[in-house]
Amino acid sequence: MSCPVGQESLEKLKQFIDNVKLQPDILHLPQLAFFKDFIESFGGSIPKMSTEAKTEELPEEPTVEEVVNLGKFLELDYSGCVDETDPVDVNQRMGDPDKEISEEDCDKADLKRSEAMSEFSNGNFDKAIELYTEAIELNPLSAVLFAKRGQAFLKANRLHACLKDCCRALELNPNSAAAYKFRGRAYRLLGEFEKAAQDLRQACNIDFDEETDAWLKEVTPNAKKIEDYRLKEARRCKEKEEKIKLEEIRKAKEARAQAGNQPEAEQADSEPGVDAGGLPPGMADLFQDPEILTAMQDPEVAAAFKDITANPASILKYSTNPKILALLSKLNSKIAGSGVKLPEFFGAPGGPDFGPPGSGAAPTGGDYGLD
């Protein structure tokens, strides 16, 4: 069976597939909805937009020194790059974005654009820039005019002016293939190969043409070195983070194992605000109760508990303190099933009744003189 597609079309398809592998997010472009449907019709699925997972803070732009050092480290080929000594163009007029544009303004801008294209074809790039500027002032919301003036700036080797115009064109029309194309070329000439490749790929995806494809092939070797390096660095950082997390988990497990080997009284002592010295054997588990633990975080309650533990008769001092009474009632209910009464728990033969848990009732009866 012979292939129904010509060799040239197959090459373009292969180039498109390579671009998708490098930049799968493009499958979410509205223009490629048909291709997405095609993949899904065979049971395939499209990966989610990578930007959804990168909504934290954006990485900082690398400094010039970092870019130069990286280029040396990766042995990038900078042949053909231009060193633009004066990147700022103070005379670059962008028009008034709030201007109300009339039909007459649009017609005049189209005439200026035609004149500018004629001058551009004759190699008069500065004159073309001047005419495009006049057209932009008439119609400052035309993405085409900014992209075309960006092309003229590119030809005149005014690369940063080209970047500024192309960025403005993309603000007005995010699907401007021309703006991506000329901005990508400007980035390439400035030695920013990664950005160049991203823009040129996007231009090819929106509206493929031979010149854009040739520029992309030219920049791809350098861009690939940078992209591969960044992937390796990302993996290395992730492995380092995972190693740190595993080490923290290991240390936490060791700490828990050591705590599990301590005597029960010592474990109770280790709780914040709890002094469990003198507890009868088997009573340390009382301090695993969340309510008791919370109560013992109060310095006043912790101090009172320590005082009562050392001298059970000191309960008298706290007979009107609702926080202390609430704790003692809770303890009374917790140890009720053990056969030990609260006063005996504190080393006394008999004592006051603290009422039901949480009642806050003052103690009555017993050997503490509270009748």
In terms of domains, do 313 and 172 share one?
Answer: no
The per-residue pLDDT for 140 is 93
Segment 318-321 long-range contacts (CB within 8 Å, at least 24 positions apart): 319/352, 319/362, 319/363, 319/370, 320/362
pLDDT at position 124 over 90? yes
In terms of domains, do 182 and 311 share one?
Answer: no
In terms of domains, do 183 and 95 share one?
Answer: yes
Structural domain range at position 306: 267-345
Asked if residue 202 belongs to a domain, the reply is yes
Residue 315 pLDDT grade (very low, low, confident, very high; cuts 50, 70, 90):
confident
In terms of domains, do 96 and 201 share one?
Answer: yes
CATH number assigned to the domain comprising residue 166? 1.25.40.10
The residue count for the chain: 371
Packing angle of the helix pair 177-189, 159-172 (nearest 10 deg):
150
Return the structure tokens found at 67: 């870019």
Separation of alpha carbons 361 and 88, rounded Å? 81
Asked if residue 334 belongs to a domain, the reply is yes
Asked if residue 241 belongs to a domain, the reply is no
Decide which of 114 and 25 is more confident. Answer: 114
Domain end marker among 186, 214, 231: 231
pLDDT at position 97 over 80? yes
Which of the listed ranges 119-123, 188-192, 247-251, 254-258 does the model predict with the highest average pLDDT?
A: 119-123
Give me the numbers of helices (H) and strands (E) for the chain, helices first please: 15, 0
Residue 361 pLDDT grade (very low, low, confident, very high; cuts 50, 70, 90):
very low
In terms of domains, do 300 and 221 share one?
Answer: no
| Average pLDDT over all residues of the chain | 76
Decide which of 30 and 345 is more confident. Answer: 30
In terms of domains, do 273 and 156 share one?
Answer: no
- Tell me the average pLDDT across 158-163: 92
Separation of alpha carbons 170 and 251, rounded Å? 52
In terms of domains, do 71 and 171 share one?
Answer: yes
Q: For residue 314, what are the contacts with CB-CB under 8 A and spacing of at least 6?
A: 307, 308
The amino acid present at 49, given as its one-letter code, is: M
The per-residue pLDDT for 126 is 93
- Tell me the average pLDDT across 96-112: 91
The per-residue pLDDT for 88 is 59
Lowest average pLDDT, out of 48-57, 141-150, 278-287, goes to 48-57
In terms of domains, do 282 and 135 share one?
Answer: no
In terms of domains, do 220 and 286 share one?
Answer: no
pLDDT tens readout for residues 60-76: 555 545 555 665 666 77
Asked if residue 7 belongs to a domain, the reply is no
Asked if residue 84 belongs to a domain, the reply is yes
In terms of domains, do 213 and 277 share one?
Answer: no
Asked if residue 86 belongs to a domain, the reply is yes
Asked if residue 371 belongs to a domain, the reply is no
The per-residue pLDDT for 71 is 59
The per-residue pLDDT for 370 is 37
In terms of domains, do 121 and 186 share one?
Answer: yes
Asked if residue 285 belongs to a domain, the reply is yes
Return the structure tokens found at 43: 């049971």
Q: How many domains does the chain have?
A: 2
Token pair 């070797």 is found at 221
In terms of domains, do 119 and 216 share one?
Answer: yes
pLDDT at position 309 over 50? yes
Residue 368 pLDDT grade (very low, low, confident, very high; cuts 50, 70, 90):
very low
Segment 210-215 long-range contacts (CB within 8 Å, at least 24 positions apart): 211/181, 212/177, 212/181, 212/184, 213/15, 215/181, 215/184, 215/185, 215/188
